[in-house]
Structure 1
Amino acid sequence: MRQTSTHIVQLDQYKVAAGESSLSGLSSGAFMTVQLHLAHSASFAGAGVVAGGPYRGVETFRGAAWLAEDAYELNALQLCMAPLTPQLAPPAPRSVQLAREAERDALIDPLANLAHQRVYIFTGSADSVVNSAVVAQTRDMYRLLGVPDSQIAYHDQLPAGHSLITDNPEDSPLGSNQPPYLNNGGFMQSHHILQHIYPGLAAPVAQASGQLLRFDQREFFGNDPHASMADFGYVYVPQAVLDGAPARVHIALHGCKQGYSYVSYTLGQADTATQPPYGNRYITTTGYNTLADSNNLIVLYPQAAGSDNTLAQNPDGCWDWWGYTSRSADYPDYYSRQALQIRAIHAMLQRLGG
């Protein structure tokens, strides 16, 4: 794979088929995948959710705190990740109700778009970060929103920890629940996700030969520090697409502590002395690019960034699925087409042509 990651380019436009793009994510990227999928369902053909909960699940118990922003953060840490019992997981019917309210208020695309789409959902039975009972509610939510069981691939039997699974021997053991949240399970989960969304894909290539480009993300979120997004994002473009072939776009959303610029925070300061050597592993080693190369798929890797200040309290570099980017503590808007991160990522998709 020819990489130009040290050279910064402007995100370009290609011959992308409208409405045939897709997205997937792990952990906070999976929660964001659900939000972005429902917000812009007209743009997509399907989604992959690995260890992610249902739409607006943080709004299950508004009484958790005086301010909605605080209540949603508490719910994110407790009900949406580690409920004490399965019955306390964010209920799918509540998510469906909130989705229909957002549709009624024209905050998201029509939910009828989901009926023809394909969804991959995974939870490892050894996941101690996001409880499997939470992920099961994501499956039930999509069912209630009209996605037939025949179009949902749901996996909950593999004893995997909190991770995207790879076949890389250097990755963590399958049952691990630790950074960089890439576990060796003997297969590329990204391939399973893409093959479910797009049946009949060609086999992956042994070595990707396209270009991995680094682009400036700031134009898409207006360099707004509330966004908690990195200065740069990445996009993989197969050579055939660079040469003019028609393409589709897949958006791959990393989880917490997985962005290229992630460093840990100590007392509000970036702790660069203990920078983990994760680098760009989510971008380069998870298998998306090799399958994309043989199927003319552009892979877009937007990047969240860690921040721990009064503008955005997000020290682990997570995508916003509980409202930290919202301007109003009383009415957090993190789930609609106008949400800061959703607006930015969708603008990237539009620039690519999707």
Structure 2
Amino acid sequence: MSRFSINTRRRPFLATGAAAMLAVVQWATAAPSLDDVVAGVHIDPAQISVSGISSGGFMAHQFHVAHSEHIMGVGVVAGGPYYCSAGSILDAVTKCSQFIMLECRQFGLDAKLCGKTDRAPKTTQDARRVAAASFAEAKTQEAAGRISKLGGLRGDQVYLISAEYDAIVPHGVMDAVFHFYADADKAAIEAGHIDYNRSFPARHTMVRDAFNKPEGDVVGNCALPPAPPPPTERNAFIDDCEAVARQRQARDQCICPPAAAAGAAAAGAAAVCPPAGKQAVCKDLQDVDLAGAILRRIYGVEALKGGRMAVAESEVKAFDQRSVFSKFSDIPYTELQNASMAREGYVFIPKSCTDGRKCRLHVAFHGCLQGGLTDRRSGQSGNLFAKFAGYNEWAQANDIVVVYPQVQVRNGTLASPPVNPQGCWDWWGQYYTHAGYHTQAGKQIRAVAQMINTLAGGRELLPVPAR
């Protein structure tokens, strides 16, 4: 037997031993449990809300529908309607997003061929049809007792945004979410409880402003067409769009110079500013800080009267998501992997919420390529959405605990899922967490519900089915 063959035969043993040692080290250096991190925190069970962007927007809406009895408001940034994919990954990337069409164009394939992959709703009638199918599925799950009673949605607060240049989730998909919530034959939420921003000048991104903005290029500069988007490997999908919004406000006469207003009054003219045809657009342009816009819609202006306070990156704390699964699973690490969830999640706890007072709770779902270790970039430690999306600054000043559940890339196979190459939340089921993903029994929904229960003092506020 040659020396080479001996070494070759030893490698599996050495690899196994190294893996075992690494596992021990990882276990020893694991983040603390969520119970330990939030010890002493008291959550108001009537003040729990959710929001998310992209796949996190789909999940926020999905979670809201599944647990509407206990969720009092939702923010959806570039997401889509409940059960949009109908459990099909093909529908997810053709009907509910333009992912396949964009990939097709990127490879320079025939434009007509690429266009055939775009099956997203185009008209109001299309969007209403998609919303009707979505609500019908919700009614089916309600009747089976797998989600909360849909009547619980009626008094809730809703913020929706579909940015002007979003090429990934088109307007028609978000329009279906609006009709799900607003139409009289569906959730029938009152008009005064819904904000739908459909004209903000941005791409597929979490819009924020310059307040407490980190140094460097982690937060983008909101480049708009015809400028190309940043390459995916350098795109955190978080952009400072304040300057862009100000330019649009000037163009659309949203800002009235005091001198001009005084002159018009002196001349006896009835000055209208913003112009009558631009008032809706001008209102949309005010949302340069989406986290603030979402939280204001959900909790009200008075609840956020504390404004914003700067927050250091180190104040966002990690917790071990395996400990969450251990509450309802005998094999928490395997369960976590099968759900494509990262080992660590994150939570921000304002200083004021450690002194015994009751605080609000907001759950923020990241988008694809933003969670777990997936969003690590050159010179950055990852966890960019939890640090820089803009929620923490409002939370610090207004007694809001923010929890950031995390999923990450899992390169499974069709025979051995999950298949989640971009670290997205599950809103299609197929080759991922499978049937039931959109109900209270869904693996990811169960995990997040358990996080909320832990934050609520360990009681079963939200139902968490064992399997």
- TM-score range, shorter-chain basis? 0.7 to 0.9
**Equivalent of residue 140 in structure 1, options 179, 182, 189:** 179
Task: Work out whether 1:8 is the aligned partner of 2:31.
Answer: yes
The one-character-per-residue Cα deviations of 1:78-129 (angstroms, maximum 9, x if unpaired) are 0001244515667100111001111000000011111110000000110001
Q: How is 1:1-354 mapped onto 2 (pairs within 5 angstroms)?
A: 8-11=31-34, 12-13=38-39, 14-59=41-86, 72-82=88-98, 83-84=118-119, 86-87=122-123, 91-143=130-182, 144-168=186-210, 170=217, 171-174=219-222, 175=224, 176=229, 178=232, 179-186=235-242, 187-199=288-300, 200=302, 201-208=304-311, 211-221=315-325, 222-223=332-333, 224=335, 225-262=337-374, 277=380, 279-309=382-412, 310-324=416-430, 332-353=435-456
CA distance, structure 1, for counterparts of residue 195 and residue 343 of structure 2 = 35
Q: How far apart are residue 22 of structure 1 and its match?
A: 0.4
SS at match of 2:448: helix
Question: Which segments of 5 or more consecutive residues in structure 1 lack a partner in the other structure?
Answer: 1-5, 60-68, 264-271
Larger Rg: 2
Q: Which amino acid aligns with 1:237?
A: I
Contact conserved, 1:325 with 1:334, CA < 8 A, in 2? no
CA distance, structure 1, for counterparts of residue 321 and residue 394 of structure 2 = 25
Q: How far apart are residue 260 of structure 1 and its match?
A: 3.5
CA distance, structure 1, for counterparts of residue 193 and residue 44 of structure 2 = 21
User: In proportion to residue count, which structure has more helix?
Assistant: 2
The one-character-per-residue Cα deviations of 1:242-281 (angstroms, maximum 9, x if unpaired) are 1212111100100000013116xxxxxxxx9x87957222
SS at match of 2:181: helix
RMSD over aligned CA atoms reads 2.3
SS at match of 1:92: helix
CA distance, structure 2, for counterparts of residue 108 and residue 98 of structure 1 = 11
Q: How far apart are residue 325 of structure 1 and its match?
A: 6.9
Change (3 A) 1:229 1:207: same
Question: Which segments of 5 or more consecutive residues in structure 2 lack a partner in the other structure?
Answer: 1-28, 99-117, 243-287, 326-331, 462-467
The one-character-per-residue Cα deviations of 1:163-221 (angstroms, maximum 9, x if unpaired) are 11011474223234753111221132101100110112124333237942210001223
Q: Which has the higher contact order (CA 8 A, sep 6+)?
A: 1
CA distance, structure 2, for counterparts of residue 181 and residue 340 of structure 1 = 26
CA distance, structure 1, for counterparts of residue 431 and residue 190 of structure 2 = 34
Change (3 A) 1:54 1:276: farther
The one-character-per-residue Cα deviations of 1:52-101 (angstroms, maximum 9, x if unpaired) are 11000112xxxxxxxxx5xx100000000124451566710011100111
Change (3 A) 1:276 1:36: farther
301-310 or 219-228: bigger deviation: 219-228
36-45 or 49-58: bigger deviation: 36-45
Q: Which amino acid aligns with 2:307?
A: P
Change (3 A) 1:235 1:248: same
Q: How far apart are residue 18 of structure 1 and its match?
A: 1.2
Contact conserved, 2:33 with 2:323, CA < 8 A, in 1? no
Change (3 A) 1:298 1:325: farther
Q: Which amino acid aligns with 1:19?
A: A
CA distance, structure 2, for counterparts of residue 260 and residue 127 of structure 1 = 24
Contact conserved, 1:30 with 1:48, CA < 8 A, in 2? yes
Contact conserved, 2:309 with 2:397, CA < 8 A, in 1? no
CA distance, structure 2, for counterparts of residue 105 and residue 308 of structure 1 = 33
User: In proportion to residue count, which structure has more strand?
Assistant: 1
Percent identity over paired residues: 31
CA distance, structure 2, for counterparts of residue 128 and residue 290 of structure 1 = 29
SS at match of 1:8: coil
Contact conserved, 2:420 with 2:432, CA < 8 A, in 1? no
Change (3 A) 1:198 1:153: same
CA distance, structure 2, for counterparts of residue 105 and residue 275 of structure 1 = 48
TM-score (structure 2 length as normaliser): 0.66
Change (3 A) 1:340 1:276: farther
Change (3 A) 1:229 1:212: same
